[in-house]
Amino acid sequence: MDTRISWDQYFIAQAAILSTRSTCTRLHVGAIIVREHRIIASGYNGSVAGTPHCTEVGDLIVDGHCVRAVHAEQNALMQAAQMGISVDGAEVYVTDVPCVQCTKLLLQAGIRNINFMRDYHNDPFAEELLRQKHVSLKQVPFSSQTAHQIDLNQFIAHE
């Protein structure tokens, strides 16, 4: 019997770990783009590279949204573009359900499956677009037992 965590749990855990790099003060989000069980790009939410972070200068909220932030999914797509990597046919693992704008970008880029950990302001229009494009939106089960299997304490040097 295989006791390893599933591929879905592995990649969603990677997205969760990546989210700890976020410089957003409101929500930490991580996104991993995967093809054939290989990570091809990743991103987390934060300010434009080289500009002040919300953790340093505060949020810049307009109409309920932080306009300083680049979303994790956007950063992952841009990383792939900068490296010349096509994401057509790939899937994404993201800590939170993508917003409608990120959903549109993911669809335009050719992402075929969206896997997420937590619901977050799910948008009915985004869900309709996913149905029209036949792209799955799937919540990856992640329990405390799964988290326990990812025991990072075993790698800490004993003092």
pLDDT averaged per 10 residues in sequence order, the chain, 159 residues: 91 97 92 98 95 86 82 98 98 97 98 96 94 97 84 78
Catalytic residue among 73, 127, 128, 159: 73
Output the known binding site: 71, 99, 102
Sorted by sequence, the CB contacts under 8 Å of residue 13 that are 6+ apart come out as 5, 142, 146, 147, 150
Whole-angstrom Cα distance, residue 49 to residue 63?
A: 23
The answer as to whether 157 is a domain residue is no
The answer as to whether 159 is a domain residue is no
| pTM over the 0.85 mark | yes
Output the known binding site for Zn(2+): 71, 99, 102
The pLDDT value given to residue 159: 64
Which has the closest alpha carbon to 36: 85, 69, 96?
A: 85
Token pair listed for 26:
């409101």
Residue 159 DSSP SS3: coil
**Enclosing domain of residue 107:** 7-147
Q: Render pLDDT for 26-67 as a digit per residue (tens, 0 to 9).
A: 899 999 999 999 999 999 999 999 998 888 888 877 887 778
Sorted by sequence, the CB contacts under 8 Å of residue 74 that are 6+ apart come out as 43, 102, 105
Which has the closest alpha carbon to 30: 40, 48, 45, 49?
A: 45
CATH of the domain at 121: 3.40.140.10
The answer as to whether 140 is a domain residue is yes
The answer as to whether 158 is a domain residue is no
How many domains are there within the chain?
Answer: 1
Token pair listed for 9:
């749990």
The answer as to whether 153 is a domain residue is no
N- to C-terminal Cα separation, the chain: 35
The answer as to whether 32 is a domain residue is yes
Residue 29 DSSP SS3: coil
127 is catalytic: no
